[in-house]
Amino acid sequence: GPHSAGADPGPASYDQGGTKPTVTDADVALGKIDPASFAGGSVTLNPEKAKAALKVEVGDKMDLSEALSAFGVCEIVDENMANAARVHAIEWGKDIAARAMIAFGGAAPLHAARLAEKLDIPTVVVPTGAGVGSAIGFLRAPISYEVVRSRYVKLSDFDAGEINTLLSGMADEARVIVSSGAGGAALQETRTAFMRYVGQGHEIAVPLPDGALTADHAETIRAAFESEYKRLYGRIIPGPEPEILSWTLTMTAPRPQVPAELTAPSGGAAEATGNRELFDPATGTYVEAKTYWRDSLPVGASVPGPAIISESQTTTIVTSAFDASVNELGYLILTRKQAT
């Protein structure tokens, strides 16, 4: 890194001429990815090319072994993500260790358990279809359209009639778009003002009251701004006047009713499909890990870590610090082992 290898030539393990190691190459070298079943078997990876690229670009330059070269790449990536999560949690005043992590995307389940170890998160959830989670979310999301208008307004000069005309025009524009795909269903309208104190260089989103606005709503909006500002920053600033820079209106159709589909078989124990050497961060060595095919894991099945759970779009790595189980929705639940 930091440059992507792209799809062409791609990681060295793609065997398409790439010579620079990527995170995918490191995952292959560490045993996280089955070279024969990558991308549902549509791409056959070359582990030797991955190891050779890591040796030349990392191992030889830093005097590291083959395993530590690959592990170092993954550790940097995982630590960067963990640090970003720490900063985000601190900025929002949240206790990240009190929450569960949801892993979706092609690579997230490969790294989620190690990330959870770093963040002291006790539970990781890998939903069904995690590898294509964004696509599933898009298809199940309600039809929605957002209109944004810039219109500078000081609350001391708030003109309800002018703003109602603005918002009405925005609503008409959005309604035409959303109605075409809503099948006659009732639409929901959400309005937001982006506000700041006079003299500031950034704005915060403040919800607006429903319905037609009146002159009295200037104080309602001021109170909402101060409440949101205090929630974000812990205090309000007495003296400066609040101002509005832009307005957004979102029109949304009802959320599609999608019945839950259980893809996991019912009852029974987890049956391993084989074994593979997997690098264990806890010991700094390769260990023999059992491999499983996710679609064959029944509800209630338990998989002790370290283990590798493969599916068509991704692979879930259960590190030695976690055990996995399958819940009633077919989701993988990784739970941190109790310290002994």
pLDDT score for 39: 78
Distance between CA atoms of 206 and 228, rounded to whole angstroms? 7
State the Rg of the chain over Cα: 26
DSSP 119-174: HT--EEEE-TTGGGHHHHHHHHSPPEEEEEEEEEEEGGG--HHHHHHHHHHHHHHH
Q: State the average pLDDT over residues 110-115.
A: 97
CA separation (Å) from 53 to 29, 45, 46, 284?
10, 14, 11, 21
Asked whether the predicted pLDDT for residue 54 surpasses 90, the reply is: yes
How crowded is residue 177: how many other Cβ atoms within 10 Å of its Cβ? Answer: 15
> Collapsing DSSP states into helix, strand and coil, what is residue 249?
strand
Domains of the chain in sequence order: 95-136+262-336 (no CATH), 142-252 (3.30.1490)
Q: State the average pLDDT over residues 72-79.
A: 95
Q: State the average pLDDT over residues 230-236.
A: 90
Q: State the average pLDDT over residues 80-87.
A: 95
> Collapsing DSSP states into helix, strand and coil, what is residue 6?
coil
pLDDT score for 266: 79
pLDDT score for 2: 63
Asked whether the predicted pLDDT for residue 174 surpasses 70, the reply is: yes
Q: What are phi and psi of 276, to 5 degrees?
A: -150, 145
Half-sphere exposure of 129 toward its Cβ, with a 13 Å CA cutoff? 13
Asked whether the predicted pLDDT for residue 70 surpasses 70, the reply is: yes
Q: Which residue has the higher pLDDT, 140 or 247?
A: 247
pLDDT score for 175: 94
Read off the pLDDT of residues 10-21 as tens digits, 9 standing for 90 and up: 899 998 998 899
CB burial of 139-171 (b: ≥16 within 10 Å; e: otherwise) equals eeeebbbebeeeeebebeebeeeebeebbeebb
pLDDT score for 340: 52
Percentage of the chain modeled with pLDDT above 90: 73
Q: State the average pLDDT over residues 19-34.
A: 93
Q: State the average pLDDT over residues 129-137.
A: 89
The model's pTM is 0.80
DSSP 8-state class, residue 312: S
- The interaxial angle of helices 66-92 and 108-119, nearest 10 deg, is 60
Read off the pLDDT of residues 255-289 as tens digits, 9 standing for 90 and up: 888 777 767 777 788 899 999 999 999 999 999 99
Say which range, 101-115, 151-165, 237-251, 256-270, has the weakest mean pLDDT.
256-270
Read off the pLDDT of residues 177-190 as tens digits, 9 standing for 90 and up: 999 888 888 899 99
pLDDT score for 259: 74
Cβ(327)–Cβ(113) under 8 Å? no
Greatest CA separation found in the chain? 72
